[in-house]
């Protein structure tokens, strides 16, 4: 089974400051079709998860451009260029290359 490891698990950030979350997989996420099925999800308090990024770096419709994803192989990063209040919540990485596995989640809070 593929294990997804996120860090940090807690991320206090001041408003207007950048934030970065790391996600590492226990094996390569490059699929046989050449794509890398790594997604990022945001779960605001009391809400369902919402996908932000798919295939490493593609933003979903309606996602602000302050969110960006990068990485390759086994190492991936979600960056928020300037944190705003509505970004508070838990962020999960997910691999969809070898069935589906989620990271443990990173709780972003305003400092």
Partner 1 sequence: EVQVVESGGGLVKPGESLRLSCAASGFSFNTYSMNWVRQAPGKGLEWVSSISRDSNYIYYADSVKGRFTISRDNAKNSLYLQMNSLRAEDTAVYYCARDGQLDYWGQGTLVTVSS
Binding interface with partner 1 (CB under 8 A): 37, 39, 41, 43, 48-51, 54-55, 60, 90, 92, 94, 96, 99-105
Nearer to partner 1, 24 or 51 (CB): 51
Nearer to partner 1, 50 or 66 (CB): 50
Least distance to partner 1, CB of residue 16, Å: 28
Do the Cβ atoms of 59 and 53 come closer than 8 Å?
A: yes
- Angle (CA) 17-78-64 rounded to 5° is 70
Nearer to partner 1, 71 or 103 (CB): 103
C-alpha of 63 from chain center: 13
Least distance to partner 1, CB of residue 101, Å: 7
Nearest to 94 by CA among 34, 42, 19: 42
81: left (phi over 0), alpha (psi -120 to 50) or beta: alpha
Least distance to partner 1, CB of residue 3, Å: 13
């Amino acid at each position: 089974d593929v294990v997804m490891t996120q860090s940090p698990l807690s991320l206090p950030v001041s408003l207007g400051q950048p934030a970065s979350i790391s996600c590492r997989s226990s094996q390569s996420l490059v699929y046989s079709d050449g794509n890398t099925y790594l997604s990022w999800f945001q779960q605001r308090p009391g809400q369902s998860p919402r996908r932000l990024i798919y295939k490493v770096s593609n933003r979903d419709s309606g996602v602000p451009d302050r969110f960006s994803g990068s990485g390759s192989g086994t190492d991936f990063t979600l960056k928020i260029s300037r944190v705003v209040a509505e970004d508070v919540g838990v962020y999960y990485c997910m691999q969809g290359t070898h069935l589906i596995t989620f990271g443990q989640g990173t709780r972003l809070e305003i400092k």
